[in-house]
């Protein structure tokens, strides 16, 4: 349903709606896919997930950051969460979006903020994943990753299989911890595959390449059972040990399948977004899978 997808992407980018929804708390069923607004609530959610045998990667929600003061505030939120995870002794690592800590304001400012987060995370013995955003941010993100990889050993990034550059990047980072995804943004045909079959085929190739080549740890972040089961077959055929990879899924999605992977002995990580800025994230989830609209229907009838 490409039209619905475009509508939800458009809604996710609407600044007025983003600003308004920050003030009203989790609504329309968003609590099914967002871990909480406050750090304390989110820590409780993480404990629940840990108790089900899964680890967590948390994401402080925050978009449209155009002022340094806002970027510093978001950096403070991320650091607060890292410290809370450390103090509460829960099993979680960080996912960080560079646009939130100043990438679109000033590259050097963003680099300094990243270094600060990585330093605090290192003290807490925590890995930090730098999420990959839209293609407009790609060059600066890769540049920043290459810089911090020289200085820190607790950082990695995401490669999106829809980008033509993905194969080259997976080989470049074959010894690094990488999260592999299909890609969540709308990109032009000059830089990205448009056909789902091409994206899926590229995705499987990336997974196999990263699992076999080099020494990097592979996070396979997808809800796609065909991809996951084919990956598991590949892992068995090639005797790849379970401590070299993990599966990641978003909070609230395919919970039975998450539990099933845990029961089968596979490391499974839940991506838990939290914070006031939940709206754009929620809209993007609806864009990916318009069937998720039933979350909205249930959410409205509940409210």
Question: What is the C-alpha to C-alpha distance for residues 256 and 91, in angstroms, rounded to an integer?
Answer: 21
Contact 36, 59 (CB under 8 A): no
Q: 160 among the known binding-site residues?
A: yes
Considering the candidates 45, 59, 169, 179, report the single residue annotated as catalytic: 179
Nearest approach, Cβ of residue 55 and ligand FDA (Å): 11
- 146-169 burial string, b = 16+ CB within 10 Å, else e? eebeeebebbbbbbbbbbeebeeb
Which of 43/249 has CB closer to ligand FDA? 249
What are residue 218's phi and psi, to 5 degrees?
Answer: -110, 120
Which of 9/111 has CB closer to ligand FDA? 9
Q: What track of x and - describes contact with ligand FDA for positions 154 through 193 (by CB under 6 A)?
A: ----x-x--------------------xxxxx--------
- Answer for which of 81, 84, 250, 295 binds ligand FDA (CB under 6 A) is 250
- Answer for which of 127, 135, 253, 279 binds ligand FDA (CB under 6 A) is 253
Give yes or no: 197 in active site.
Answer: no
- The verdict on 288 binding ligand FDA (CB under 6 A) reads yes
Considering the candidates 31, 59, 131, 200, report the single residue annotated as catalytic: 131
Within positions 266 to 285, which residues make up the interface with ligand FDA, using CB under 6 A? 271
> Helix/strand/coil (H, E, C) string of 222-284?
CCCHHHHHHHHHHHHHCCCCHHHEEEEEECCCCHHHHHHHHHCCCCEEEEEEECCCCHHHHHH
Within positions 88 to 147, which residues make up the interface with ligand FDA, using CB under 6 A? 131-132
Which of 31/131 has CB closer to ligand FDA? 131
- DSSP letter at 100? G
Question: What is the C-alpha to C-alpha distance for residues 281 and 278, in angstroms, rounded to an integer?
Answer: 6
The C-alpha torsion from 142 through 7 and 162 to 146, rounded to 10°, is: 10
Which of 167/254 has CB closer to ligand FDA? 254
Binding residues for substrate: 97, 284-285
Binding residues for FAD: 132, 160, 182-184, 196, 222-223
Site residues (vs ligand FDA, CB under 6 A): 131-132, 158, 160, 181-185, 221-224, 248-250, 253-254, 271, 288-289
């Amino acid at each position: 349903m490409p039209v619905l997808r475009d509508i939800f992407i458009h809604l996710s980018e609407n600044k007025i709606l983003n600003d308004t929804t920050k003030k009203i708390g989790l609504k329309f069923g968003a609590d099914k896919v967002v871990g909480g607004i406050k750090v304390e609530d989110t820590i409780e959610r993480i404990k629940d997930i840990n108790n089900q045998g899964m680890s967590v990667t948390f994401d402080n929600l925050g978009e449209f950051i155009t002022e340094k003061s806002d970027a510093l505030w978001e950096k403070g939120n991320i650091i607060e969460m890292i410290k809370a995870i450390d103090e509460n002794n829960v099993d979680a690592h960080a996912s960080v979006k560079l646009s939130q800590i100043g990438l679109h304001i000033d590259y050097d400012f963003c680099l300094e903020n990243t270094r600060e987060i990585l330093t605090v995370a290192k003290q807490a013995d925590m890995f930090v994943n730098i999420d990959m955003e839209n293609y407009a941010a790609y060059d600066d993100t890769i540049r920043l990753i290459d810089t911090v990889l020289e200085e820190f050993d607790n950082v990695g990034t995401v490669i999106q299989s829809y980008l033509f550059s993905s194969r080259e990047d997976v080989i470049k980072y074959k010894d690094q911890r990488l999260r592999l995804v299909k890609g969540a943004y709308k990109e032009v045909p000059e830089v990205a595959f448009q056909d789902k079959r091409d994206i899926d085929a590229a995705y499987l190739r990336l997974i196999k390449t990263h699992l076999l080549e080099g020494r990097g740890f592979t996070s396979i972040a997808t809800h796609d059972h065909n991809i996951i089961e084919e990956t598991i077959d590949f892992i068995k055929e090639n005797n790849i040990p379970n401590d070299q990879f993990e599966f990641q899924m978003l909070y609230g999605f395919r919970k039975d399948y998450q539990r099933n992977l845990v029961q089968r002995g596979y490391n499974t990580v839940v991506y838990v977004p939290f914070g006031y800025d939940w709206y754009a994230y929620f809209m993007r989830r609806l864009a990916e899978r318009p069937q998720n609209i039933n979350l909205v229907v249930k959410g409205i009838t509940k409210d």
